[in-house]
Amino acid sequence: MRGTTVVAGTPGLRPRRGEPPIHRLEVPLPHSLPFTVGTFDSIGPMSRAEFPHRHTFHEIVYVSTGSGVHVVDVARWELAPPQVFVVAPGQVHRWDDVQGLEGFVILFTDDFLLHHPVDRHLLRRLSGRPLAPCDGGLLRPITELYDEYRWRADGVESVLRALLHVLVVRMARVADTGAPGPAETLVDQFARLTGQPGGESWSVRECAARMGVTPGYLAEAIKAATGRTPSHLIREARVREAKRLLVSSDLTVRQVADRTGFADPAYFCRFFRRETGLSPGDFRRVGDRAGNGNTP
């Protein structure tokens, strides 16, 4: 996607042989928001890519007009606008024989959900099937997000976060009033466990025990569904929680380390710098928009 995926020649996440490519979200400057919204045309040709690929970020697609098929994992969904599709990180998707595709595309990383961590679980649940809103209840917050992002007025970041939260909650309402979605998958359970307070500090073995499966089986299931290992996702969860505490609380770095399962504050600081490129103190000073130069 123009402005949202890596430019040609930029190293990306290398998939295993036979697996689809993994795209990361590009932000143009070090302090840019890990968020973008636009039309299919403004986002670019990758917004309607016909080849299978995965993301490390969330994608919400509002299809207002068009025909064809949207393939998510192994499910093929015939377009019947208006429709909303949610593609969770790690899911494989592509567009097949689409024509006249119009609407909006919203892309954001987990970091953009720091103030509403429960939304990550809701988005994973919503990725099971398309939503068919019967009125403008979803289009309104989407167009507000689009306008707010273009205008970039004072306080744009807090407004975008609030509007995105409203959109996720309203999508969950639409899903709850429609046909029942699929049962919670192993990936859903894992995301819910690591997303709850304290869950980010559990080991893969502890998560597997709580879910009633072996660590090996959990690792295989998570890798097949997301392209990443459970330990990688747990590490990301610990970083997210540390970021949230650093920007939204007055806890000391030592206290943040303790809250996220690090007995040694010095080790926590090394871990945080390795994962984000910043020390905890530097991250707190520049705010949670720094260190998010994730490029697809």
Domains for the chain: give ranges and CATH numbers. 22-177 (2.60.120.280), 186-286 (1.10.10.60)
Mean pLDDT of 175-194: 67
Mean pLDDT of 155-169: 93
Query: Does the global pTM surpass 0.75?
Result: no
Check residue 10 and give its pLDDT: 38
pLDDT at 21 over 90: no
Check residue 92 and give its pLDDT: 84
Mean pLDDT of 153-171: 93
**How do residues 204-226 score in pLDDT, each as one tens digit?**
888 888 877 888 888 888 887 77
Check residue 145 and give its pLDDT: 96
In 10 A of CB 149, how many CB atoms?
18
pLDDT at 191 over 90: no
Helix (H/G/I), strand (E/B), else coil: 187: helix
Q: What is the mean pLDDT of the chain?
A: 81
- Nearest CA to 98 among 73, 75, 83, 79? 79
Calculate the CA 237 to chain-centre distance: 12
pLDDT at 267 over 90: yes
Give the length of the chain: 296
pLDDT at 39 over 90: yes
Picking from 5-9, 155-159, 267-271, 289-293, which range would have the lowest pLDDT averaged per residue?
5-9
Mean pLDDT of 165-190: 75
In the chain, % helix, strand, coil (3-state, to 5) comes to: 45, 20, 35
Residue 276 belongs to what H/E stretch?
helix 265-276
pLDDT at 5 over 70: no
